[in-house]
Amino acid sequence: MDIVIENLTKRYGVQKAIDNISFKVATGEIIGFLGPNGAGKTTTMKIITSYLAPDEGDVFIGGRSVMENPVETKRHIGYLPENNPLYFDMPVIDYLEFCARIQGIEKSRVVNRVAEMIKITGLNHEKHKKIGELSKGYRQRVGLAQAMIHDPQILILDEPTSGLDPNQIAEIRKLIRELGREKTVILSTHILPEVEATCDRIFIINKGKLVADGTPDTLRKQAQGTDIIRVKIEDGNPDTIFKALKELESVTMVDFADRQFNRFNVHCKSDRVKRDIFSLCVQNKWVLTEMTPFETKLEDIFRELTMN
């Protein structure tokens, strides 16, 4: 089930939390929603789930407006909020049975569905404990289980791995990838490597505006403008090598990566650049000991788009 956001705006007083943003998420996509604190991520998620109403614009879930059909669209959404609201005095299994019932699951299916969620989220050893007795990581798992209990077609996950240890993060990441084969998933996180490992596309929001939309590779290319190759060339004077590299037709710019060890970052505009560099080294009897693509880190792209 797809999600279409059209010209969404939300104000708190005179401040715009989100400012006329539009995007589409296709069925089966896993979207990473990034932005600094206060950028508008949580507000957008709350509007998608009908928790908040926008001041302008609309959200369409499978073609249905959340403004006109809030009850119907909510049935298709599982939501894990940023501040995971749980009943600490309830045992895990009782809480999940309660969630199943209020989500309208048939009474005959409740026990099996709860058991399935407990298995998927790794809560088997904790299922009889009160939620207040659990660690933050296990409470987060309970929140994930309640979001999925009614088998929704869309999952909205606000910081789903918050408080989890590295092993638990890897397990939840795997679970989200598996869910993404048949569900539409939007997740926000501050763990950027997690986004690259989990998500098909990335949205970056800053000061209420959508400033980037694309795959990690697409965003890198947009940030760089050109491809960059890091090379190390030995047996030559660094200034002489620097000048020779700049004169290659396939090269747009050269930077010293490490002058002492003759390492250079070569910005290129043609696929011929590797062949040209190799030929240059042969002609000058230089030894080429390194030639590797240089990737702009997602952290650098994030900072570039959100620091102003």
pLDDT recorded at residue 221: 66
Question: Which CATH code for domain 226-296?
Answer: 3.30.70.2070
pLDDT recorded at residue 217: 75
Q: Do domains 3-76+152-214 and 226-296 have the same CATH topology?
A: no
* CB within 8 Å of 130: residues ≥ 6 apart: 88, 89, 90, 91, 92
pLDDT recorded at residue 219: 78
What is the spatial distance between Cα 136 and Cα 164, in angstroms, rounded to a whole number? 7
Domain boundaries, the chain: 3-76+152-214, 226-296
Q: pTM of the predicted model, to two decimals?
A: 0.74
The Cα-based distances of 262 to 62, 67, 88, 233, 247 in angstroms read 56, 61, 60, 6, 17
- Mean pLDDT, consecutive 10-residue stretches, the chain (308 aa), reads 93 91 91 88 92 93 92 92 90 96 92 93 92 90 92 91 77 80 86 80 91 81 69 92 92 88 85 90 94 73 72
CATH 3.40.50.300 fits 3-76+152-214, yes or no: yes
Longest dimension (CA), the chain: 80
